[in-house]
Amino acid sequence: MAKVNLPEVTLVALTGVNYKRKEHQEALYKSQDGIRFGEAKLIELESIKDVATWNEAVIKELPKYIYTDFAMLIHHDGYIKDANLWNPTWLTFDFIGAPWPLPTDDYSYRTPSGKLIRVGNSVSLRSKKLMDLVATRPMEYHYGNNNEDGQICVWQRDWLEEQGCRFAPIDVAKYFSKEHTIPENEHIDKTFAFHSVT
């Protein structure tokens, strides 16, 4: 079968210097099985020391390394596993990741306007437009999800949509990637990507 050709997408892993380098390189290698990306990069930054500085680097630093219209962010424990499941309509969205489970409280995964968000996850396809926009915003720390995907998909969601950014709905995202088994994806055997639950 011919390779999927994605010249408009950079496959990228972002990590601290020497942190699981071999595992990240392996994830990059596996993710290119059956796909030809515009670029593939492993970026190691000295500023990344822990999860908090990694999240900040994804927001503030990663866009500086992306020269294509989209980036596919992967990790050592989450990457592309089946190129045959690629769907070109995913490029009509500015962000698509794995579905989130329903929260067990009344505040998690909710935007400042109160909208419940069901799609996020750091293993994701995101547009350069969205990345550049988010990099101009201050990091917001609230209750609930404060990770970079929470910043993008939850806390900045209303503003990003005002700028014309489109987020994939759960009925689309459930075929893109899987992190948690939830009612919406329990019948789906294979997804394009995955992220291990830690």
Q: Which DSSP helix (H) or strand (E) runs through 31? A: helix 21-31
Residue 142 has pLDDT above 70, yes or no: no
Residue 134: closest CA among 161, 165, 111, 156: 156
Q: How many domains is the chain built from?
A: 1
d(Cα 192, Cα 125) in Å, to the nearest integer?
11
137 Cβ partners below 8 Å, 6+ apart?
A: 156, 159
Residue 140 has what pLDDT?
A: 77
Mean pLDDT score across all residues of the chain: 94
Residue 75 has what pLDDT?
A: 96
pLDDT tens across 24-56, in order?
999 999 999 999 999 999 999 999 999 989 999
Residue 143 has pLDDT above 80, yes or no: no
pLDDT tens across 73-126, in order?
999 999 999 999 999 999 999 999 999 999 988 888 999 889 999 999 999 999
Distance between first and last Cα of the chain: 34
Token digits for 182?
């939830």
Residue 105 has what pLDDT?
A: 87
- The sign of the CA dihedral 126, 127, 129, 135 is positive
100, 118 contact by CB (below 8 A): yes
Range(s) of the domain holding residue 98 = 4-194
Residue with tokens 């970026």: 43
Tell me the CATH number at 108. 3.90.550
